[in-house]
């Protein structure tokens, strides 16, 4: 029986004769991991196997037995798992709920049905020892430019789970809509285009059971005309959030609330891209505030703006850190401001324009690779192919911004622990015009584009350098992609 797994596991020892064994669709699981095992069972049922999940570590016989070990107990790969399938039993060994979910995703990729029954499965005789190289393996979806019904969010989590991604970054807000519910500033939520408290609670549980971190983003101080529409007296009407004590306190309160809304999220994204900073210079109130924070307002306008911008980012980051979370920003502050930005703010490096990656590295920042080329999916007229995603690595950037010094070429760093991973990013800028009146179809097309590329993102973040070429990975991906495609796209097919 052939064994196809994406991302390709570190070690896969197969029975030399390609043998397999039939198992009862029964899993014995440590009590605290039952929710994850039940999530697996729901996936398995969509593939025709009805699993019984039992608490405990019984003598499993022809069932699957899960063993919880401590991290130090001879785990070959940090955050890793082991699967051992022999003729007398199948065992999963994992240290935490995340690595247990990775093991479950592998089992789901390699299990086959037994014709005529839902109560048995076939597994290949094998031993898999596996673990990720990089801690951040992500997928971002812009939920603000057009409306994505809630079910899409669950499909993104399914996709992350299946390919062992660590994070689903959701760009909840932008000029077009503010899709989160809120209590402190309820008018921020765009009517008819925001998720309910109950949906966010459901999303958190769904992702947490599957070992996926949701990273919510509120994009400030630009990209958020909804703030001005809802509370003009507080946030101003200049296309950027006005800075004075009340507005800065208000946005800090929004971030505190977002932390509470997403209790399992270790990271909170505070945006920080493409703001029209010069608008602050025209506002007497903002300039007064600049003075009050110690900024010398006789400096050149550009420097005042950069200092105000950094002041804002640092304040929002502080609100996030106060809740014990890690703030993330887009690469948006110039190199000469680095001394003012705490190094515990993680930077998503995307344009290599506002600040270039080598300067961020030299300054000591922790970085996530969001290289425009080939990681951006601007649905539906996407520019980069799955093969290009396959050729990408977390150490490689190909800018698209004409002002980048690396335009027309690329930047490749050496291996660096400061680069913790990378992600695909789906932006729906053109969906509204191209799918006018049928945004759900646009969202499905976008999900299809993600599903085509995620296997290669997963491969290149789970394995820094597997030595595999596109054709090898493509064949593996083709073998496993059908099962998740049916689940993720099937869920949203009739919307």
DSSP track, 97-115: HHHHHHHHHHHHHH-EEET
Return the number of the residue (40 or 289) whose C-beta is nearest Zn ion.
Answer: 289
Cβ atoms within 10 Å, residue 135:
12
Cβ atoms within 10 Å, residue 480:
19
Return the number of the residue (154 or 286) whose C-beta is nearest Zn ion.
Answer: 286
In whole angstroms, how far apart are CA 26 and each of 56, 123, 417, 438? 12, 13, 41, 42
Least gap, CB of 284 to Zn ion (angstroms): 8
Return the number of the residue (61 or 232) whose C-beta is nearest Zn ion.
Answer: 232
Return the number of the residue (241 or 261) whose C-beta is nearest Zn ion.
Answer: 241
438, two tokens: 């049928």
Least gap, CB of 333 to Zn ion (angstroms): 20
Return the number of the residue (170 or 250) whose C-beta is nearest Zn ion.
Answer: 250
**Piece of the chain touching Zn ion by CB under 5 A; list 16-24, 64-72, 137-145, 231-239:** 231-239
Return the number of the residue (47 or 234) whose C-beta is nearest Zn ion.
Answer: 234
**Piece of the chain touching Zn ion by CB under 5 A; list 107-115, 242-250, 312-320, 398-406:** 242-250
Least gap, CB of 309 to Zn ion (angstroms): 13
Residue among 296, 291, 279, 187 at smallest CA distance from 242: 279
Return the number of the residue (293 or 410) whose C-beta is nearest Zn ion.
Answer: 293
413, two tokens: 């760093």
Return the number of the residue (229 or 400) whose C-beta is nearest Zn ion.
Answer: 229
**Piece of the chain touching Zn ion by CB under 5 A; list 233-241, 254-262, 314-322, 358-366:** 233-241
Least gap, CB of 184 to Zn ion (angstroms): 21
Least gap, CB of 336 to Zn ion (angstroms): 24
Q: How far apart are CA 267 and CA 233, in angstroms?
A: 30
Chain residues 439-468 in contact with Zn ion, contact rule CB under 5 A: none
Least gap, CB of 280 to Zn ion (angstroms): 6
Chain residues 283-302 in contact with Zn ion, contact rule CB under 5 A: 283, 285-286
Chain residues 26-85 in contact with Zn ion, contact rule CB under 5 A: none
Return the number of the residue (192 or 294) whose C-beta is nearest Zn ion.
Answer: 294
Chain residues 140-179 in contact with Zn ion, contact rule CB under 5 A: none
**275 with 243: CB under 8 angstroms?**
no
* Of positions 182, 236, 399, 421, contacts Zn ion by CB under 5 A: 236
Question: Which ranges of 262-371 would DSSP assign to H, the alpha helix?
Answer: 284-292, 301-322, 357-363
* Of positions 126, 242, 389, 484, contacts Zn ion by CB under 5 A: 242
Q: Is 340 exposed, middle or buried (0-12, 13-18, 19+ CB in 10 A)?
A: middle
Residue among 389, 380, 384, 379 at smallest CA distance from 400: 384
**Piece of the chain touching Zn ion by CB under 5 A; list 40-48, 112-120, 194-202, 278-286:** 278-286
Q: How far apart are CA 446 and CA 145, in angstroms?
A: 13
Task: Show Cβ contacts of residue 24 under 8 Å, excluding neighbours closer than 6 positions.
Answer: 61, 62, 63, 119, 120
211 forms part of the interface with Zn ion (CB under 5 A): no
Q: How far apart are CA 400 and CA 380, in angstroms?
A: 18
**310 with 293: CB under 8 angstroms?**
no
Supply the Cα-derived Rg of the chain in whole angstroms. 24
Rounded to 5 degrees, φ, ψ at 330 are -75, 150
Q: How far apart are CA 314 and CA 312, in angstroms?
A: 5
Question: Which residues make beta-bridge pairs with 421?
Answer: 136, 368
**Piece of the chain touching Zn ion by CB under 5 A; list 102-110, 204-212, 228-236, 461-469:** 228-236
Return the number of the residue (13 or 245) whose C-beta is nearest Zn ion.
Answer: 245
**Piece of the chain touching Zn ion by CB under 5 A; list 12-20, 235-243, 300-308, 371-379:** 235-243
* Contacts to Zn ion by CB under 5 A: 236, 242, 283, 285-286
């Amino acid at each position: 029986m052939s064994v196809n797994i994406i991302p390709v596991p570190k070690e896969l020892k197969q029975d030399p004769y390609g043998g397999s064994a039939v198992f009862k669709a029964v899993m014995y699981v440590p009590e605290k991991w039952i929710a994850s095992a039940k999530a697996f069972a729901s996936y398995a049922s969509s593939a025709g196997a009805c699993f019984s999940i039992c608490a405990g570590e019984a003598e499993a016989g022809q069932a699957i037995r899960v063993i919880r070990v401590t991290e130090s107990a001879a785990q070959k790969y940090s955050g890793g798992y082991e699967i051992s399938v022999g003729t007398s039993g199948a065992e999963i060994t994992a240290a935490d709920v995340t690595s247990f979910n990775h093991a479950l995703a592998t089992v789901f990729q390699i299990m086959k049905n037994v014709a005529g029954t839902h109560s048995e499965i076939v597994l290949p005789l094998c031993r898999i020892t596996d673990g990720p190289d990089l801690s951040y393996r992500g997928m971002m979806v812009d939920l603000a430019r057009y409306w994505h019904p809630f079910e899409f969010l669950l499909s993104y989590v399914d996709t992350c789970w299946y390919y062992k991604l660590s994070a689903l970054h959701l760009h909840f807000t932008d000029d077009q809509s503010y899709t989160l519910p809120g209590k402190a500033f309820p008018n921020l939520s765009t009517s008819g285009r925001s998720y309910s408290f109950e949906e966010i609670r459901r999303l958190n549980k769904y992702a947490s059971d599957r070992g996926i971190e949701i990273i919510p983003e509120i994009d400030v101080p630009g990209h958020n005309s909804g703030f001005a529409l809802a509370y003009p007296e507080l946030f101003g009407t200049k296309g950027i959030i006005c800075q004075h004590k009340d507005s800065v306190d208000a946005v800090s309160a929004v971030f505190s609330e977002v932390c509470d809304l997403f209790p399992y999220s270790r990271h909170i994204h505070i945006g920080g891209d493409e703001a029209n900073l010069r608008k602050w210079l025209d506002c007497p109130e903002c300039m007064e505030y600049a003075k009050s924070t110690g900024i010398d307002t006789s400096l050149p306008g550009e420097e005042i703006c950069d200092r105000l911008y950094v002041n804002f980012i640092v304040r929002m980051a502080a609100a996030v850190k106060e809740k014990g979370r890690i703030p993330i920003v887009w690469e948006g502050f110039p190199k000469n401001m680095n001394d003012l930005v705490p190094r515990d703010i993680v930077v998503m490096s995307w344009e290599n324009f506002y600040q270039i990656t080598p300067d961020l590295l030299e300054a000591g920042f922790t970085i996530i690779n969001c290289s425009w080329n080939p990681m951006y999916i601007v649905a539906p007229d996407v520019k980069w192919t799955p093969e290009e995603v396959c050729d990408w690595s977390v150490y490689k950037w190909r800018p698209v911004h004409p002002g980048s010094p690396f335009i027309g070429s690329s930047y490749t760093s050496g291996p660096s622990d400061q680069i913790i991973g990378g992600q695909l990013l789906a932006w729906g800028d053109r969906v509204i015009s191209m799918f006018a009146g049928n945004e759900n179809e646009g969202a499905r097309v976008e999900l299809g584009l993600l599903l085509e590329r995620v296997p290669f993102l997963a491969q290149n973040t789970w394995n820094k350098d597997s030595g595999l070429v596109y054709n090898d990975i493509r064949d593996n991906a083709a073998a496993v992609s059908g099962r998740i495609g049916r689940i993720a796209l099937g869920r949203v097919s009739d919307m």
